[in-house]
Chain A
Amino acid sequence: MTLEYVDAGEAINHGALSNVSGTAPKTSNVDYERLLTARDEPNNWMTYFGAYDGQRYSLLDQINTENVKKLGPAWIFQAGMSGQIAGASTYAFEACPLVVDGVMYVTGWDGWFWCLNAETGEELWRYKHAVPFDVSLCCGNVNRGCAVANGRVYFVTPNAQLVCLDATNGEKIFQRTIGDVRAGESASLAPTVVKDTLITGSAGGEFGVRGHVDCWDLETGEQRWRTYMVPKPGEPGSETWPDDGEAWARGGGNHWCTGTYDPELNLYYAGTGNPAPDFDGEVREGDNLYTDSVVALDVDTGEIKWHYQFTPHDLWDYDSTMEMTLFERDGKKLLGHFDKNGYFFVLDRTNGELQHVTPFVDRIDWGVISRDGKVTPRKYPEKEGDPVHFYPGPAGAKEWTHAAYHPEHDLFYVPVADVGATATRRRREFREGMPYWGAAVQVDIDDMAGSVSAFDSHGEEKWRHRLDYPMAASILTTAGNLVFAGTPTGEYLALHAETGEKLWEFQCGSGHHSSPSTYSVNGKQYIVVPVGWGGWLEGIIPGMLGAGHGSALIAFALPD
Chain B
Amino acid sequence: MTMSDVPTDLVRDLGLDQQNAATIGQVLGTGSIAEATVRDDGTMEATIRIREDSMSWDPAVLVMPRGGEIELTVINDDKNTHACLLPSNGDQKFLWLLNHSKGKATLTLDGPGYYWYSSPGGNDEGRGLTAAIVVQGEVPPEARLDRPEQPRPTKEDNS
15 more contacts with CB within 8 A, not counting A83-B118, A181-B139, are: A10-B103, A14-B85, A16-B94, A130-B89, A132-B115, A160-B139, A175-B89, A180-B144, A183-B144, A232-B146, A249-B148, A250-B150, A430-B150, A430-B151, A434-B153
Q: Chain B nearest CB: distance from A344 CB in Å?
A: 33
Within 8 A of A (CB), among B116-145: 116-118, 120, 125, 130, 132, 135, 138-140, 142-145
Q: Chain A nearest CB: distance from B10 CB in Å?
A: 25
State the CA gap A134–B108 with chains docked (Å): 17
Q: Are A134 and B91 in contact (CB under 8 A)?
A: no
Query: Does A506 sit at the interface, judged by CB under 8 A?
Result: no
**Number of residue pairs A-B, CB distance < 8 angstroms:** 166
State the CA gap A131–B93 with chains docked (Å): 14
Q: Are A159 and B147 in contact (CB under 8 A)?
A: no
Q: Are A180 and B85 in contact (CB under 8 A)?
A: no
A11-B94 in contact given A132-B112, A133-B115, A433-B152 (Cβ < 8 Å): yes
| Partner of A178 from B92, B120, B143, B151 at Cβ < 8 Å | B143
Within 8 A of B (CB), among A1-53: 3, 5-17
Q: Are A181 and B113 in contact (CB under 8 A)?
A: yes
Q: Are A177 and B92 in contact (CB under 8 A)?
A: no
Q: Chain A nearest CB: distance from B132 CB in Å?
A: 8
Question: Which residues from chain B contact A429 at a C-beta distance below 8 Å?
Answer: 151
A contact residues, total (Cβ < 8 Å):
57
Question: Which residues from chain A contact B144 at a C-beta distance below 8 Å?
Answer: 180, 183
State the CA gap A249–B145 with chains docked (Å): 9
Question: Which residues from chain B contact A170 at a C-beta distance below 8 Å?
Answer: 90
Q: Chain B nearest CB: distance from A423 CB in Å?
A: 24
Q: Are B90 and A127 in contact (CB under 8 A)?
A: yes
Within 8 A of B (CB), among A77-135: 82-84, 126-135
Q: Are B92 and A128 in contact (CB under 8 A)?
A: yes
Question: Which residues from chain B contact A433 at a C-beta distance below 8 Å?
Answer: 152-153
Query: Does B88 sit at the interface, judged by CB under 8 A?
Result: yes
Within 8 A of A (CB), among B31-84: 74-76, 84
| Partner of B113 from A132, A177, A223 at Cβ < 8 Å | A132
Q: Chain B nearest CB: distance from A428 CB in Å?
A: 11
| Partner of A177 from B84, B116, B140 at Cβ < 8 Å | B140
Q: Chain A nearest CB: distance from B110 CB in Å?
A: 6
Query: Does A210 sit at the interface, judged by CB under 8 A?
Result: yes
Q: Are A249 and B90 in contact (CB under 8 A)?
A: no
Q: Chain B nearest CB: distance from A213 CB in Å?
A: 13
Q: Are A12 and B94 in contact (CB under 8 A)?
A: yes
Within 8 A of B (CB), among A388-440: 429-434
Q: Are A10 and B104 in contact (CB under 8 A)?
A: yes
Q: Are B143 and A160 in contact (CB under 8 A)?
A: yes
Query: Does B105 sit at the interface, judged by CB under 8 A?
Result: yes
| Partner of B147 from A10, A127, A181, A246 at Cβ < 8 Å | A246
Q: Are A130 and B100 in contact (CB under 8 A)?
A: no
Q: Are A180 and B145 in contact (CB under 8 A)?
A: yes
Question: Which residues from chain A contact B101 at a C-beta distance below 8 Å?
Answer: 5-8
State the CA gap A209–B139 with chains docked (Å): 15
Q: Are A5 and B75 in contact (CB under 8 A)?
A: yes
State the CA gap A159–B89 with chains docked (Å): 12
B residues whose Cβ falls under 8 Å from a Cβ of A: 74-76, 84-110, 112-118, 120, 125, 130, 132, 135, 138-140, 142-148, 150-153, 157
Q: Would you give 17 A-B contacts (Cβ < 8 Å), ordered by A? A: A8-B101, A10-B95, A11-B104, A13-B90, A15-B91, A83-B85, A83-B117, A83-B125, A129-B89, A130-B108, A160-B139, A179-B139, A180-B138, A180-B145, A181-B113, A232-B146, A249-B145
Question: Which residues from chain A contact B106 at a C-beta distance below 8 Å?
Answer: 10-11
Question: Which residues from chain B contact A178 at a C-beta distance below 8 Å?
Answer: 143
Interface string of A275-292 (1 = CB under 8 A from B): 000000000000000000
Q: Are A432 and B98 in contact (CB under 8 A)?
A: no
State the CA gap A128–B107 with chains docked (Å): 13
| Partner of B96 from A8, A15, A209 at Cβ < 8 Å | A8
Interface string of A163-187 (1 = CB under 8 A from B): 0000000111001011111110100
Minimum CB distance partner of A111 in chain B: B89
| Partner of B88 from A130, A134, A135, A183 at Cβ < 8 Å | A130
Q: Chain B nearest CB: distance from A242 CB in Å?
A: 15
Q: Are A134 and B113 in contact (CB under 8 A)?
A: yes
Query: Does A556 sit at the interface, judged by CB under 8 A?
Result: no
Q: Chain B nearest CB: distance from A400 CB in Å?
A: 23
A210-B92 in contact given A11-B106, A83-B118, A182-B139 (Cβ < 8 Å): no
State the CA gap A135–B67 with chains docked (Å): 14
| Partner of A10 from B89, B105, B135, B150 at Cβ < 8 Å | B105
Query: Does A455 sit at the interface, judged by CB under 8 A?
Result: no
State the CA gap A14–B88 with chains docked (Å): 10
Query: Does A517 sit at the interface, judged by CB under 8 A?
Result: no
Minimum CB distance partner of B111 in chain A: A132
Q: Are A11 and B86 in contact (CB under 8 A)?
A: yes
Q: Are B146 and A126 in contact (CB under 8 A)?
A: no
Q: Chain A nearest CB: distance from B96 CB in Å?
A: 7
Query: Does A293 sit at the interface, judged by CB under 8 A?
Result: no
A182-B90 in contact given A11-B106, A223-B142 (Cβ < 8 Å): no
State the CA gap A185–B146 with chains docked (Å): 13
Query: Does A161 sit at the interface, judged by CB under 8 A?
Result: yes
| Partner of B115 from A7, A130, A179 at Cβ < 8 Å | A130
Question: Which residues from chain B contact A16 at a C-beta distance below 8 Å?
Answer: 94
State the CA gap A11–B110 with chains docked (Å): 19
Q: Are B150 and A432 in contact (CB under 8 A)?
A: yes
Q: Are B120 and A83 in contact (CB under 8 A)?
A: yes
| Partner of A8 from B97, B116, B117, B152 at Cβ < 8 Å | B97
Q: Chain A nearest CB: distance from B116 CB in Å?
A: 4
Question: Which residues from chain B contact A128 at a C-beta distance below 8 Å?
Answer: 90-92
Within 8 A of B (CB), among A239-260: 246, 249-250
Q: Are B146 and A228 in contact (CB under 8 A)?
A: yes
Q: Are B112 and A432 in contact (CB under 8 A)?
A: no
Minimum CB distance partner of B91 in chain A: A13
State the CA gap A179–B146 with chains docked (Å): 11
A5-B105 in contact given A133-B114, A182-B138 (Cβ < 8 Å): no
Question: Which residues from chain A contact B157 at a C-beta distance below 8 Å?
Answer: 431
Q: Are A133 and B102 in contact (CB under 8 A)?
A: no
Q: Are B95 and A9 in contact (CB under 8 A)?
A: yes
Minimum CB distance partner of A129 in chain B: B89
Question: Which residues from chain B contact A132 at a C-beta distance below 8 Å?
Answer: 110, 112-115, 135
State the CA gap A10–B97 with chains docked (Å): 11
State the CA gap A5–B97 with chains docked (Å): 11
Question: Which residues from chain B contact A431 at a C-beta distance below 8 Å?
Answer: 151-153, 157
